[in-house]
Amino acid sequence: MSYVHQGKIPPKRHTIFKSDEGNFYYEQLFGTEGFHGISSLLYHLERPTQIKSIGEPKDVSPKIAVEKNVTPRMFKGMNVSPEADFLDSRKVLLVNNDLKMGLAKPQNSTDYFYKNAECDELVFVHEGTGILKTFLGNLTFSKGDYLIIPRGTIYKIHFDTKENVLFFLESHSPITTPKRYRNEFGQLLEHSPFCERDLETPVLQEPINEKGDFLIKVKKENQITDFIYATHPFDVVGWDGYFYPYKFNIKNFEPITGRIHQPPPVHQTFEAYNFVVCSFVARMYDYHPESIPAPYNHSNIDSDEVLFYTEGDFMSRNHVDLMDFTLHPGGIVHGPHPGAMERSIGKKFTEEFAVMVDPFRPFKITEEAIKVEDPSYKTSWLGQ
């Protein structure tokens, strides 16, 4: 990430910093990996440590239906139930020791604050508009936006309407841009499919100087605990550093194409420990005179493969609806549906948009996923 500075900060870190009225500002290091990872320094009107009470934790552990899976599966996202509350709406469908993944259809904005105290969050906006409000500033969002929310970020989310669909994942390791697209200084390279101009950082708002009872729901170790603080968490007058939420729209991803079919790593957008996230976007097809645009059959021996279909017509699949998830377990060969390869020959362009996640440890299937599974998918490659 790039260095960002917003609002008022002192010329030297860890030094006395006061308002014009002579009141102290309170410094907070917001960082990771025991003072070694990336961080930002925040300056508060009040001490951000003033806990008034802590409630009983609520267990939100995903319930596992299939511990060890070798079956190709499709989950019908359109059948996931909406919920009024933002956190209640999160239906975890797939999980392993590195990440959780699922779909949320929240109908209401949050009237509380939320902090994931152990996982980075990626939220992809399939449908809906609104504002992600954080203690570092606001990000407006709309269809096609990836919202990257680093662990420890305190935020609220405002939706403009009740019609919202969010693909989400929670990562136990930092979510970053691909290392192979960055130089030794961290700058995205000339041949990267996106650059820093495509990444939008939060806009710091006027600090809120309020005292009272402020509810922050804190998630850690599959529990959500209600913390009541005495001061408003959005009382930041300034901050600087490398650790902050940001957004990136999938339609700003510049596809890498070639004369023959390009493998999925050219679509990579983010990475974390033991998984990658890729963006399939509208693009020109291969331009060799005898190219086959449809992907070849492959078995992904070392990783599962999940695709979330968000826009357009995905040319390698028959009967795929928007919001569908397909899961292809590592080691099991998969490829185009019958007729898809033949239909692709001679095509020049695709308008498809999809998010792909490849984990390097197998996914477990939750009970929420089984509720919306299409059981016919596993035999859908049989000849017609």
Collapsed DSSP state (helix, strand, coil) of residue 152: coil
* Tokens read off for 195: 């650059």
Collapsed DSSP state (helix, strand, coil) of residue 340: helix
Residue 159 carries which DSSP code? E
| Residue (of 68, 84, 95, 71) closest to 373 by Cα position | 71
Residue 306's contacts (CB-CB under 8 Å, 6 or more residues apart) are 94, 101, 325, 326, 327, 328, 356, 357, 358, 359, 363
Which contiguous run of DSSP H or E holds residue 157? strand 154-159
Which contiguous run of DSSP H or E holds residue 344? helix 340-344
Separation between Cα atoms, residue 104 and residue 243, nearest integer Å: 26
Q: Considering the candidates 261, 319, 328, 337, report the single residue annotated as catalytic.
A: 261
The binding site for homogentisate consists of 334
Asked if 261 is an active-site residue, the reply is yes
| Residue (of 215, 213, 216, 222) closest to 57 by Cα position | 222
The binding site for Fe cation consists of 298, 304, 334
| Residue (of 104, 155, 107) closest to 131 by Cα position | 155
- So which residues are the catalytic ones? 261
